[in-house]
């Protein structure tokens, strides 16, 4: 799996377009890094950059950006709404894919070490990279901000982790570390900055102090007025969106605003957002409003509309959701073929694709037909009495169809490990043993693919029975074909399990897998017959 790290440096410059672009270009020009977003703010006089890369490249990208900031930003001239203490104020590293938090903590420390040495400026480590507990939280490190740094640097407790002890007036200091995916989120209110700040104080975890904490955990926030939007904002950082999700913060701001008799006019996400956070919001509104939405793109649209994420600028999911941005095109050469080309490929003078890929495709068609009938029944006025049945089965069948499609290609590539084993040398006893183990592992992989097809297909039977009993009678033949296709696909996958099991020498594994496969096959015969019998009553 490719390792992907996200870096979100915040620079204390949001007004000089030349400097903003120069930093962006430095990131773009770093091999292995992809700049995803640049979000400058006039009132905050701050720009947030978001880019991704592998662990080595991400450090180089952050260094390249810091070099430009060292040359072009002078903190002696900086004023802005946002708390800050450095030209590169904060530079967090976030695990996205194939990377642990511990690895990101090491990346942050390597970056701090290299940047401090080259640029001769102080760096503090925070969050997962912090060496001391009292330095873990960013507000604690940044207390007193830029203006308080000269005095703070004389305190031994606040000696920088890397870089000089003396105050560097044109730079200040930088905090870098590893953290969870932080969501910078602003809710717009038609009110004053004081009203926005009152709401923030009521909600943020720190509240108004130790004796008066706020209601929401893992939330930092304040209120301000954004001149370019002509609105006040409750501006927050959601440190852990699983603890306090976006929708909860939004709903709580609406509640507080109502008490103050001010209007909420949507919200904005600054930078990039995880897919899960928007799906959580969608599920909240679906339950609250008793809606029926199961497709991911429609869920995203619902979340965007209910949270008013288009209120400041268009929210384009493909450019703002991290999983969509870094997604790689599926390696599915067979599933991507036209139906004609796929069939002709099966019929070519080659052993692959063969029965396994065909079985996965047939099973997917069977489940897909069931999904089609359910969707054609749902929403039709004369079938209103069966709507609950269709609402229950549609999401599962829709997702199972999507899960079965990749099995078409997975079956064709299942023998790669086995073939690699066959090609291994066998001159010595050790080489023979290594070759044998590799080939046995390859056979188990080849067995697991059709077995997975059987398991996925098996999940569809109860839903197909519901459709047979309550689906649109005009689609009777579609349900019949779907049931038979699914049974055939499972049967074909079963035959692939059996033929690959012949050379397996692990008796315990053999007995366990054969028992499961036989049970899945028996259930397929039984459920298909049950569906056909049910449909004969129509």
357 and 495 co-located in one domain: yes
Query: Contact 275/324 with Cβ under 8 angstroms?
Result: yes
57 and 105 co-located in one domain: yes
Query: Contact 267/186 with Cβ under 8 angstroms?
Result: yes
496 and 445 co-located in one domain: yes
* CA quadruple 64, 65, 67, 70: dihedral, nearest 10: 180
Distance (Å, rounded) from C-alpha 314 to C-alpha 325? 16
pTM for this prediction:
0.78
Distance (Å, rounded) from C-alpha 194 to C-alpha 199? 9
Of 82, 197, 389, 470, which residue is the catalytic one? Answer: 82
Structural domain includes residue 332: no
Query: Contact 325/332 with Cβ under 8 angstroms?
Result: no
Distance (Å, rounded) from C-alpha 352 to C-alpha 411? 9
Cis peptide upstream of residue 365 (ω within 30 degrees of 0): no
3-state secondary structure 277-314: HHHHHHHHHHHHHCCCCCCHHHHHHHHHHHHCCCCCCC
170 and 187 co-located in one domain: no
412 and 486 co-located in one domain: yes
Q: Which two tokens stand for residue 472?
A: 């649109």
362 and 290 co-located in one domain: no
pLDDT tens for each residue of 289-309: 999 999 999 999 999 999 999
197 and 159 co-located in one domain: no
Query: Which of helix, strand or coil describes residue 87?
Result: coil
Judge whether 197 counts as a catalytic residue. no
Return the CATH number at 73. 3.30.990.10
116 and 198 co-located in one domain: no
Distance (Å, rounded) from C-alpha 445 to C-alpha 433? 18
301 and 435 co-located in one domain: no
Structural domain includes residue 334: no
Which of 274, 304, 326 delimits the end of a domain?
A: 326
Q: Which two tokens stand for residue 146?
A: 């830029």
* CA quadruple 403, 407, 408, 410: dihedral, nearest 10: 140
- State residue 8's pLDDT score: 94
Structural domain includes residue 331: no
Structural domain includes residue 322: yes
- State residue 1's pLDDT score: 53
Widest distance between CA atoms in the chain: 87
Of 39, 89, 161, 411, which residue is the catalytic one? Answer: 411
253 and 379 co-located in one domain: no
Which of 158, 178, 198 delimits the end of a domain?
A: 178
- State residue 328's pLDDT score: 79
Structural domain includes residue 438: yes
Structural domain includes residue 387: yes
* Domains held by the chain: number: 3
pLDDT tens for each residue of 206-259: 999 888 999 999 999 999 999 989 999 999 999 999 999 999 999 999 999 999
- State residue 80's pLDDT score: 86
25 and 136 co-located in one domain: yes
Structural domain includes residue 333: no
Nearest to 112 by CA among 90, 96, 95: 90
Q: Which domain holds residue 234?
A: 183-326
Judge whether 411 counts as a catalytic residue. yes
Query: Contact 425/435 with Cβ under 8 angstroms?
Result: yes
Report, as ranges of residue numbers, the positions in the chain whose pLDDT lies below 50.
none
Distance (Å, rounded) from C-alpha 218 to C-alpha 223? 17
174 and 187 co-located in one domain: no
Which of 134, 152, 178 delimits the end of a domain?
A: 178
Nearest to 178 by CA among 237, 90, 122, 101: 101
Q: Which residue shows structure tokens 């298909």?
A: 528
Structural domain includes residue 298: yes
Distance (Å, rounded) from C-alpha 511 to C-alpha 501? 10
Nearest to 11 by CA among 89, 107, 128: 89
Return the CATH number at 446. 1.20.120.680
């Amino acid at each position: 799996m490719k390792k992907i790290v996200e870096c979100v440096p915040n620079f204390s410059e949001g007004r000089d377009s030349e400097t903003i672009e120069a930093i962006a270009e430095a990131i773009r020009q770093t091999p292995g890094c992809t700049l995803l977003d640049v979000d400058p703010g006039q009132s905050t006089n701050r720009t947030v950059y978001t880019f991704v890369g592998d662990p080595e490249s991400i450090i180089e990208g952050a260094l390249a950006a810091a070099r430009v900031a060292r040359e072009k930003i002078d903190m002696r001239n900086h004023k802005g709404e946002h708390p800050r203490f450095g030209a590169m104020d904060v530079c967090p590293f976030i695990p996205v894919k194939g990377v642990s938090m511990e690895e990101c903590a090491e990346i942050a420390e390597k970056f701090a070490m290299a940047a401090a040495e080259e640029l001769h400026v102080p760096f503090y480590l925070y969050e997962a990279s912090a060496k001391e507990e009292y330095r873990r939280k960013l507000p604690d490190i940044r207390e007193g901000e830029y203006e308080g740094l000269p005095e703070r640097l004389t305190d031994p407790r606040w000696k920088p982790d890397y870089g000089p002890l003396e105050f560097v007036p044109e730079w200040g200091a930088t905090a870098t570390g590893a953290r969870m995916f932080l969501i910078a989120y602003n809710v717009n209110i038609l009110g004053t900055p004081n009203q926005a700040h009152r709401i923030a104080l009521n909600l943020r975890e720190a509240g108004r102090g130790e004796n008066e904490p706020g209601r929401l955990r893992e939330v930092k926030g304040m209120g301000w007025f954004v001149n370019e939007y002509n609105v006040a904002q409750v501006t927050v950082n959601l440190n852990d969106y699983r603890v306090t999700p976006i929708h909860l913060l939004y709903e709580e701001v609406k509640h507080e605003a109502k008490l103050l008799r001010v209007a909420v006019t949507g919200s904005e996400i600054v930078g990039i957002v995880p897919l899960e956070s928007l799906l959580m919001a969608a599920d909240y509104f679906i339950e609250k409003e008793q809606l029926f939405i199961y497709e991911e793109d429609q869920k995203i649209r619902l979340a965007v509309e209910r949270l008013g994420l288009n209120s400041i600028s268009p929210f384009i999911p493909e450019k703002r959701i991290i999983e969509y941005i870094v997604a790689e095109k599926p390696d599915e050469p067979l599933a991507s073929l036209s139906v004609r080309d796929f069939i002709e490929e099966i019929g070519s003078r080659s052993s692959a694709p063969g029965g396994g890929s065909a079985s996965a495709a047939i099973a997917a068609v069977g489940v897909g037909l069931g999904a089609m009938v359910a969707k054609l029944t749902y929403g039709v006025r004369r079938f209103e009495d069966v709507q609950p049945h269709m609402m229950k089965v549609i999401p599962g069948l829709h997702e199972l169809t999507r899960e079965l499609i990749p099995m078409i290609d997975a079956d064709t590539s299942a023998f790669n490990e086995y073939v690699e084993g066959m090609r291994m040398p066998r001159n010595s006893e050790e080489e023979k043993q290594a070759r044998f183990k590799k080939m046995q592992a390859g056979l188990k992989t080849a067995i697991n693919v059709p077995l997975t097809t059987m398991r996925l297909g098996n999940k569809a039977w109860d839903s197909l029975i519901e459709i047979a009993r309550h689906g649109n009678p005009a689609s009777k033949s579609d349900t019949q074909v779907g049931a038979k296709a699914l049974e055939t696909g499972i049967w074909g996958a079963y035959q692939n399990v059996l033929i690959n099991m012949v050379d397996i020498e692990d008796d315990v594994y053999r007995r366990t897998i054969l028992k499961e496969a036989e049970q899945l096959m028996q259930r397929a015969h039984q459920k298909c017959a049950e569906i056909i019998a049910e449909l004969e009553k129509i």
